[in-house]
Amino acid sequence: MKLALHLALHTGQRQGDLLILPWSAYDGHAIRLKQGKSRRGTKEGRQLYIPCTAALRRALDAAPRRAIPILTKPDGMAWTKSAFHHAWSAAYDRSGLRDDLHFHDLRGTAVTMLSEAGCTPQEISTITGHTLATVNKILEVYLARTRMLAESAILKLDAHPRNAAQ
């Protein structure tokens, strides 16, 4: 479950795409994948190149390669959607978190984490495969307006060349 959490938070991908993600998609630096879900069934899924964070690289490099997919059950077999859902739900229940969150919510969390790190909506959509409109909708609803973001914005404003002479 920990590796699944790392993959979801650091790539922003859907559960279905992560469950079938093969080791061959990871080259030690980045993950290449073609998203399985297409928009309204009329187009193929997006082809993505996702450079790995240092934390995700460490997690992947330490993970056992027991089968073709990266994520496997403890016995090394591939997860079914149902089995993963039940195992994830059980792990979430054991965590003691009180909010009613689901694996899919990690996709939105990845968007907000990338934004808080200073990524533009264009950069975020390149990693997660969302449209720009969807990235902006997620940020409008879920991005916390924090003191850290406010201070970062003012530092950028102060550092802008137009404000240097004032």
> How much is the mean pLDDT over the chain?
91
Q: What is the pLDDT of residue 100?
A: 76
Query: Is the overall model pTM greater than 0.75, yes or no?
Result: yes
- Residue 69, helix vs strand vs coil: strand
Q: What H or E segment, with its residue span, contains residue 34?
A: strand 30-34
The residue among 58 and 100 whose pLDDT is bigger is: 58
Partners of 26 in the β-ladder: 31
Q: What is the distance between the alpha carbons of residues 11 and 33, in angstroms, rounded to a whole number?
A: 11
Q: What is the rounded average pLDDT of the residues 94-106?
A: 84
- At residue 165, does pLDDT exceed 90? no
Domain ranges for the chain:
2-161
Q: pLDDT category, 41, cuts 50, 70, 90?
A: low
pLDDT in tens, 43-90: 678 899 999 999 999 999 999 999 999 999 999 999 999 999 999 999
Q: Which CATH number applies to 2-161?
A: 1.10.443.10
- At residue 2, does pLDDT exceed 70? yes
Dihedral of alpha carbons 39, 3, 122, 27, sign = negative
Q: Are 139 and 109 in contact (CB under 8 A)?
A: no
Q: pLDDT category, 156, cuts 50, 70, 90?
A: confident
Q: Are 108 and 142 in contact (CB under 8 A)?
A: yes
Q: What is the pLDDT of residue 17?
A: 96
pLDDT in tens, 138-155: 999 888 888 888 888 888
- At residue 166, does pLDDT exceed 90? no
